Structure 1
Amino acid sequence: MSQVSPEKIRANVEVLVKFNNRSTISSADANLPPGTGILAASDWIKKQLETYSEACGGCLEVKVDEFSQSPEAAFNGSNPRIVRPTLIRNIYAILRGTDSKASKRIYLVTGHYDTRETDVMNTHDPAPGANDDSSGTAVSLESARVLSQLKFPATIVFAAVAGEEQGLNGSRHLAQLAKDEGWQVEGILNNDIVGGDTTPGDTLQNKSLIRVFSQGILPSAPVETIRQMLSLGIENDTPSRELARAILDVSRSYFATPKSFRPVMELRLDRYLRGGDHKSFSDLGFASVRFTEWRENYNHQHQHIRVENGVEYGDLLKFDDWQYIAQVARLNIATLGTLASSPGVPEKVRVVTTNLDNNTTLRWDAPTAASEAVKYEIVWRETAVSDWQFSADASKFGDSSESHSATLPISKDNVIFGVRACDDRGHCGPAVTPFPERRP
């Protein structure tokens, strides 16, 4: 984390801004000035990742997910944002895990590098996107630069996607690619608008906080599953919500002073009237979250650059806070490193509900891609609390290498339980909340 450089983050954002307008649909324009537009930006991002790979002896596999997006119908009730076949490129780099089994597990960090003007179809007027989302792209790049110098059992992917402003096109394609190719993705960290907007006179911005949004129950889940989760009160214990809790746990380990910087878990998919790339992954069942600064300034997003009645509009460099973006990068790096070092998540976690009693017996199977010894922790919280409050070593309550189970003198009716897998050094994966099991 100490290797994260606010100066390098700033340098990357400054280069991205120089591409003038990174509208996704500019890829179909033939009259752009040389060195501007989305395709020029994608070439530069690819080159940056290749430079990081050279520095680590070729440890990164740099790839381009390129496709032609067909014209689409109206987006969110507005006019279509893709009106002719449009080339879209997602750029990503793979840091393969060192363990033959654990390397199948994948954690992904992403930001979108396309931008927009007030008119989402405008491809020529300046749309610097210094915050939305050069800041998130810079987090992906800085994470790649720093973590490529280390080795982890599991695999980490560093991505920059396009098409977000036109309808999440790039992330949707990358998510479907991951699904079709059978990627065992256990967590996606999406960074979108993490620049820590610094507007003169704004006293309500809080540079010590970063919001973490995550999906609750998927609307596409089977009706019976939805009914069961609601009846059990575990609608806030989806994989995406557990990933958010894991981020909060990481922050307590790596940010010793919570007042300096901490994530805040938001129990909703996203903000009102807005959306982000984490939804593309969440829709396909992948655990995913979105990082966003505490207080957005909408005068500095999706705006034609101008001054009106003394108010400055535009997503400009001068409103980014490089120290804040560096803190966001450190949190991403700490989370990715922790999860990629962990054994993953336990399988088939269940709570025994055969008899009426005030004890709780939990059972689970080992993570499918763990090759080293695994320690298990039981975590729990009161039903009205959003984050884990207590934890205990499962071995003290009956867990053994032969049979993974634990019985605690705590009523399952009063709390929500979870089981998480950890390595010997304390790197834990996200917890998994049990479903009921009746045993003969």
Structure 2
Amino acid sequence: MVFRLRFIVIGALLALPVHAKEKVSRVNTDELHTIAAEVSAVHIEQDVRTLVGFGTRHTASETASDTRGIGAARRWIKNEFDKISAACGGCIEVYYQSETVSGETRIPDPVEVVSVIAVQRGVTDPGRYVIMSGDIDSRVTDVMNATSDAPGANDNASGVAGVLETARVLSQYRFQGSIVYAALAGEEQGLFGGKIMAAQAQKDGWRIKAVLNNDMIGNIEGINGVIDNTTARIFAEGTRHTETPEEATTRRYTGGEVDSPSRNLARYIDKMADTYIPNLDTMVIYRLDRFGRGGHHKPFNDLGFPGVRIMETNENYNRQHQDIRTENGIAYGDTIEGVNFPYAAKLTALNAVSLASMAWAPNPPSGVTIKGAVQPSTTLSWTALNKKQNPNLAGYKIYWRYTDAPQWQYSRFVGDVTEFTLENIVIDNYFFCVASVSKDGFESPVVFPGAAGSFGE
């Protein structure tokens, strides 16, 4: 395997091991096409089949066996991450993250919930993180049944396989910010793996800019009769869960209900799909998740971190949370036959290019403010980024759109400044935001002014 090094600050290369066949060059946004093409449906199929082969991955299932249960599954996942890290010269730190849970509705007795975390540290801004996650565990009809076969092929071996494949591809590169690949446990029993990881990240001071939760990315045959391999959904909450009463009052007058960091993260991913993933149109859903259901992005949203759920458009409920059986000619159960591997690879590629672009881009702007009431023009200002953390910063770009438009319509690169006035553009008629831009053209997610849109420092 040829290890290709892509990094912008040449001086920093001295600290990195260099393979004899490496090509050292500047990156540009065209590299994202290469990344998308490197994602392998064959690898994803192999990984899904291996995960299905553990019989059940229920949170409370067997842990001592080497061939069955969640213990065997998580050890295999860790071993795969270890192999990926070894292939890139130890560029990924791999570890278990665990906590014993008990006294819960779906975990009444003590169970150790163990996730597998793999961190690819950024070179200039390692404290900034973007995260891709999938869920290890599976279930049948009875959520407490820890012994029956629960293949969990689509829900959610597809997501874990996507995380592993993204790590294989992106570990060939070097980035400004850190990328985390997370295989989280305990999802079906109450989102416990995500709760544990989010709480620890907050405690450790992680500056999380994006959580891309992949939960069911392999099914193209919906219960509604639709067969579709060209669309996907991105679920994104509106108003931040941690909003204070004072912030809510401000938002009432200035807007921001549809411009939370999670919503603008979703718009960013939607733009990545349009630009880099052939035959894929993503639908941004203005909800935290589906009706009455949840996913592992929610624990991060609960703490105020930007996070979205990426998944198939047309779900098949006969293949979700079902005992394996056939009734009235209908096959039930989440088996391998329900996974379309080229489609899973397409959604994995979307994750890969989105993570790479954000990790190569500078930090999103902070301290964004806006003024222009009863004026003919609109002025935006922001705090200058730390140049040591963001040595590739070229400057900032202002976007604006009509208030009922789903995507940003207009933009202007304004250079390396901290304030700019858009002459004769009236503040009342548009929504505005600011992105940071690298010298190679990578942009951060956009930031809406004020607390409603802030991605933090």
Give the C-alpha shift of residue 335 in structure 1: 0.2
| Aligned counterpart, 2:271 | 249
| Counterpart pick for 2:132 among 109, 112, 135 | 109
232-241 vs 324-333, which moves further: 232-241
| Counterpart pick for 2:351 among 324, 332, 336 | 332
| Aligned counterpart, 1:221 | 243
Which runs of structure 2 are paired with 1:192-207 in the superposition (5 Å)? 192-198=215-221, 203-207=225-229
2:303 matched to 1:284? yes
| Aligned counterpart, 1:75 | none
| Aligned counterpart, 2:39 | 4
C-alpha separation in 1, matches of 2:323 and 2:317: 12
Q: Alpha carbons of 1:357 and 1:57: their partners in 2 closer, same or farther (altered >3 Å)?
A: same
| Aligned counterpart, 2:332 | 313
User: Would you identify which runs of 4 or more consecutive aligned residues in structure 1 move more than 4 Å?
Assistant: none
Which runs of structure 2 are paired with 1:75-154 in the superposition (5 Å)? 80-99=105-124, 102-154=125-177
C-alpha separation in 2, matches of 1:346 and 1:180: 23
2:423 matched to 1:366? no
2:103 matched to 1:71? yes
| Counterpart pick for 2:374 among 350, 356, 374 | 356
Give the C-alpha shift of residue 329 in structure 1: 0.7
Give the structure-1-normalised TM-score: 0.91
Give the C-alpha shift of residue 341 in structure 1: 0.4
| Counterpart pick for 2:445 among 426, 430, 435 | 430
Aligned residue type for 1:280: P
Are 1:276 and 1:290, in contact at CA under 8 Å, matched by a contact in 2?
yes
| Residues 38-87 of structure 1: CA deviation (Å, up to 9, x unaligned) | 11110000000001111111111111102211221xxxxxxx10011101
C-alpha separation in 1, matches of 2:198 and 2:267: 22
C-alpha separation in 2, matches of 1:320 and 1:164: 20
RMSD: 1.7
What SS class does the counterpart of residue 298 from structure 2 fall into? helix
| Aligned counterpart, 1:212 | 234
Are 1:364 and 1:405, in contact at CA under 8 Å, matched by a contact in 2?
no
Consecutive unaligned residues in structure 2, runs of 5 or more:
1-35, 452-457
C-alpha separation in 2, matches of 1:374 and 1:226: 34
C-alpha separation in 2, matches of 1:327 and 1:130: 17
Which runs of structure 2 are paired with 1:167-182 in the superposition (5 Å)? 167-182=190-205
Give the C-alpha shift of residue 351 in structure 1: 0.6
| Aligned counterpart, 1:59 | 91
C-alpha separation in 2, matches of 1:91 and 1:406: 47
Give the C-alpha shift of residue 404 in structure 1: 3.1
What SS class does the counterpart of residue 151 from structure 1 fall into? coil
Aligned residue type for 1:160: A
Are 2:221 and 2:314, in contact at CA under 8 Å, matched by a contact in 1?
no
Identity of aligned residues (%): 39
What SS class does the counterpart of residue 25 from structure 1 fall into? coil
| Aligned counterpart, 2:421 | 406
Consecutive unaligned residues in structure 1, runs of 5 or more:
73-79
Are 2:221 and 2:315, in contact at CA under 8 Å, matched by a contact in 1?
no
| Aligned counterpart, 2:55 | 20
C-alpha separation in 1, matches of 2:42 and 2:193: 28
Q: What is the number of residues matched between the two proteins? A: 414
2:74 matched to 1:42? yes
What SS class does the counterpart of residue 165 from structure 1 fall into? coil
C-alpha separation in 2, matches of 1:24 and 1:308: 27
What SS class does the counterpart of residue 100 from structure 2 fall into? strand
Give the C-alpha shift of residue 358 in structure 1: 2.2
C-alpha separation in 2, matches of 1:432 and 1:352: 15
Give the structure-2-normalised TM-score: 0.87
Give the C-alpha shift of residue 202 in structure 1: 6.5
2:407 matched to 1:387? yes
